[in-house]
Copies of this chain bind each other. A is one copy, B any other.
Amino acid sequence: MTGQMTLLLVLDLVGTFAFALNGALTAVRAADLDIVGVVALAMTTALGGGIVRDIILDDLPPATFSDWRYLLVAAAGGLLAFTVARHQERLRTPVTVLDAAGLSLFAVTGASKALEFGLGPVQAVILGALTGVGGGTLRDVLIRQVPTVLTSELYAIPALLAAAVTVLATATGVYGLPAAVSAAALCFGIRLLGVRFGLNAPGPRTEPPRRTESGD
């Protein structure tokens, strides 16, 4: 295994663990789920982004299914979070921080793997962001929330930035652990600043939108 591949694997597993914790805590906070539901939502959140990435890249079966370490880390994160979930009133901050960590790491690994598989730079940036937001979007759809990527303060933008830094670092030959961690830290910082200060990308200049039940 090359150094690049090892780096990808390690960052991927850390992101998987962060998203598994996040998914499980979200399941406890937002819905009345038993242990199976909690672990299922943890694994969906943790593995969803990478599965989408690997389908798009035609790297099938996805790493999740050909490498048992992903499954183990995702299940362990879900079970761990389930056991500590009784301290429910304090879950809001860890849920947000863990989601930002998974988002950041997967944006980097998604972009990096896309380049390895021959995608162009723009496509790699978009697939990186998609990898970052994929698991959380599946999580939100399953528990019937409008996905964070559509509504929340600076969520897709930091993921796109981290992926862009990864692509730039690879193009200039300086990609490695320091560059990958810097790219992830940039995304992580912007995301948490956005949450902390309620920053939003600009909205359309309209009257307050109505929520409608039917599309036409």
Contact = CB atoms under 8 A, between A and B. Distances in A.
A58 B51 CA distance: 12
A4 interface: no
Interface stretch (A10-18, A29-37, A169-177): A29-37
Contact of A141 (B34, B142, B200): B142
Contacts of A7: none
Contact of A92 (B40, B88, B195, B216): B216
Contact of A150 (B56, B142, B146, B212): B142
B57 A61 contact: yes
Interface residues of A, number: 80
Contacts of A144: 144, 146
A149 interface: yes
A210 to B, nearest CB: 7
B146 A86 contact: no
A216 B149 contact: no
Contacts of A95: 215-216
Interface in A104-148: 117, 119-120, 122-123, 126-127, 136-137, 140-148
18 contacts: A30-B210, A32-B211, A33-B209, A34-B202, A36-B154, A36-B156, A38-B204, A55-B60, A56-B60, A61-B119, A66-B123, A68-B122, A71-B126, A88-B207, A99-B215, A142-B146, A144-B144, A144-B146
